[in-house]
Amino acid sequence: MSISVPQTPAEKKFYDELVAHKLLIPCDVPGVFGRGGVFEDVVDRLMMLISKHGGGDGAEIQRYPPLLSRNTFVQSGYLKSFPQMIGVVHSFVGKDPEHKKLLERVDQGETWSDDFPHADLVLTPAACYPVYPQAKGTLEAKGKLVDIMSYCMRHEPSGDPARMQMFRQREYVRVGTPEQIDEFRETWAKRSMTIMVEQLQLAAHRDVANDPFFGRGGKMLAMNQRDAALKHEILIPICSTEKPTACVSINYHQEHFGHLFEIRQPNGEYAHTSCIGFGLERTTLALLHTHGLAPAEWPKSVREHLGL
């Protein structure tokens, strides 16, 4: 299947190989894929490898569907910063007469989406977002640590197979004091490089980054984020060595979510939050691109760490 967005030669080559080997199954929309059995097996093993590093920290395990309430979504502030990436759920609320008219419009090739008003749901843009509303209140002295995984949606169709519109993030989310956040960030910065470089043998490096904030004001937000080193990414070449792909993101939100969701430290000050997110599809693609499309033929030590 050809896709209707630009692709570099390297992106097209890798895309075609992934599809030919049934690792990814293309759908009708760029950046939306089914996953084959071999691909999913690697994802499952990545999840277990990450758990080996974080499983002893006492994190509370939470798993959510890729949906947020509109209230939580608006409260998070995402709408202000990234409107270009949002996916909103719409649902039909009519009765039989409206349904009949709807089908007539469909048959005639007319616009029919006006019959689907906004539901109370938004597609989750980041796996950590459900954690903050349920952390509302005053924390215990130890703070809060959550192990979370979810499909996420960002509307950025691309010919790059590593830039999907629907993908999975495995995250650890820390809520607490600035000192607890510093320890969390440093611990996971080391762990993530151990996973990517030493255990998976990927050509990864860590760098300061910024989110793609929207509009003129977004440029200043991005500059401030970089200047304060609030966001680090672990970058791995997949389809480009000049523009490697971010496979891990380590984010420090300061008291942003503590303020928005009324989460407080034991001393009454707003809690600080941080998260580390592993892109499961991107890391799997990095492995396939680096070591080959047959996991059984990957380097022995990589296979041992993944239990292959």
The CATH number that applies at residue 247 is 3.30.930.10
Q: Tens of pLDDT along 114-131?
A: 888 888 999 999 999 999
Residue 25: give the domain boundaries.
9-87+125-306
**Sign of the Cα pseudo-torsion (193, 195, 201, 203, in order):** negative
Q: Tens of pLDDT along 11-48?
A: 999 999 999 999 999 998 999 999 999 999 999 999 99
- Whether residues 131 and 107 share a domain: the answer is no
Measured distance CA(241)–CA(105) in Å, rounded: 48
| Among 123, 149, 184, residue at a domain's last position | 123
- Whether residues 71 and 211 share a domain: the answer is yes
- Whether residues 181 and 151 share a domain: the answer is yes
- Whether residues 186 and 48 share a domain: the answer is yes
Q: Tens of pLDDT along 152-206?
A: 999 988 999 999 999 999 999 999 999 999 999 999 999 999 999 999 999 999 9
Cα→Cα distances 228→1, 208, 232, 252, 257, Å: 44, 9, 11, 10, 17
Say what the pTM is.
0.91
Strand partners of residue 248:
234, 278
DSSP character for 270? B
- Domain membership of residue 3 (yes or no) is no
- Specify the 3-state DSSP secondary structure of 46: helix
Total structural domains within the chain = 2
